Amino acid sequence: MSLKVIVIGGGIAGLCLAQGLKKAGIDVSVYEKGPRRADPHWLQGYQIHVNPNGAHLQECLPPALWAKLLNNACSPSAAFQVLTEQIKTIAVVEAEFMNGSSHVPIVRTALRQVLLEGLDDLVQFGKEFVRFEQTSSGRVAAIFSDGSAATGHVLVGADGTGSNVRKQYLPSARVIDTGIVGAACRLPIGVRTRSRVPDHLLTRLTCYAINLQVRSRARCGCNGQSSDLGFCVVACGVRLYRP
Ligand SMILES: Cc1cc2nc3c(=O)[nH]c(=O)nc-3n(C[C@H](O)[C@H](O)[C@H](O)COP(=O)(O)OP(=O)(O)OC[C@H]3O[C@@H](n4cnc5c(N)ncnc54)[C@H](O)[C@@H]3O)c2cc1C
């Protein structure tokens, strides 16, 4: 009897696991609630740093796909800095402390493109997991909002911070809201603007600490209480996906 693994969530973790299980010859299916394209969750498109621990991802990918990931990597940041909104320095972390022995910065949408490669038959989009049931044959059935179900031997919850799998399996494990809100973005910089921007803003990963006093649950997704500190992260040297 071959093992069948059901993964809920086609984010970084779910897709990475699917690549690794596929490489190991294990039958896996991924169910992602969002659409494949124009998914706002991914279009946020911010850069992510794969640190030396994360670089175990290499073991999950076929060598050609790891090479493609490296080919899509951004220029490493010269340092990490925290500035005020008036561009006054609060802290600077030099690259050797931040990066360790190796790290791979990559735009999230590019990482997703790479992780999706070769998984066309294994990932289903528009499938929102609602709950699971244990079947009489000792298997687990994932039930989706469209009424369909998928059955396997193992169910993996890779459905992010608000995981529905976790809510059912570990109801006492709750997310604690720190009241701190962050926003990250990429903006195109034209030639004229570029010449007026100090070099360190273009070469360092920069976090602007801003006193936002965010109060709206709808706007910030937190618990609606006032938040004293907000921050905004701007990535430098990003690069669009190269197939
Ligand atoms: C500003 C910021 C910067 C960060 N920088 C870094 C960094 O540099 N390096 C780093 O390692 N980490 C970083 N992180 C953390 C990193 O983004 C997360 O740890 C990572 O995205 C978690 O991946 P995941 O696959 O577990 O969850 P997610 O990326 O949240 O993916 C979960 C997926 O599950 C899907 N899903 C949710 N519910 C359901 C459902 N009911 N049914 C089906 N599908 C569902 C979602 O649509 C989503 O696609 C950063 C986070 C933030 C906010």
What is the C-alpha separation between 6 and 14, in angstroms, rounded?
10
Ligand 1 binding pocket, CB closer than 6 Å: 8-14, 31-34, 41, 48-49, 54, 128-129, 158-160, 164, 182, 184, 233
Residue range 4-74+106-169, CATH number: 3.50.50.60
Q: Can you give the pLDDT at residue 227?
A: 40
- Per residue, the 3-state secondary structure of the chain, as one string, reads CCCEEEEECCCHHHHHHHHHHHHCCCEEEEEECCCCCCCHHHHCCCEEEECCCHHHHHHHCCHHHHHHHHHCCCCCCCEEEEEECCCCEEEEEEHHHHHCCCCEEEEHHHHHHHHHCCCCCCEEECCCEEEEEECCCCCEEEEECCCCEEEECEEEECCCCCCHHHHHHCCCCCCCCCCCEEEEECCCCCHHHHHHCCHHHHHCEEEEEECCCECCHHHHCCCCCCECCEEEEECCCCCCCCC
Cross-strand bridge partners of residue 205: 80
Q: Can you give the pLDDT at residue 44?
A: 52
What is the C-alpha separation between 12 and 9, in angstroms, rounded?
9
Query: Probe ligand 1: pick from 19, 41, 48, 143, max atoms within 8 Å of CB?
Result: 48
For the CA of 158, the closest atom of ligand 1 is 26
Residue 55 corresponds to which amino acid? A
* Residue spans per domain, the chain: 4-74+106-169
Q: Can you give the pLDDT at residue 31?
A: 98
pTM: 0.83
Query: Cβ(211)–Cβ(228) under 8 Å?
Result: yes
Q: Can you give the pLDDT at residue 85?
A: 78
Q: Can you give the pLDDT at residue 225?
A: 42
Distance 42 CA to ligand 1 centre (A): 9
For the CA of 34, the closest atom of ligand 1 is 47
Q: Can you give the pLDDT at residue 232?
A: 60
* Rounded mean pLDDT for each run of 10 residues along the chain, 243 residues in total: 93 95 97 74 67 82 94 83 86 76 78 92 96 96 98 97 95 84 72 85 81 45 42 56 58
Q: How many CA within 13 A on the CB side of residue 98?
A: 17
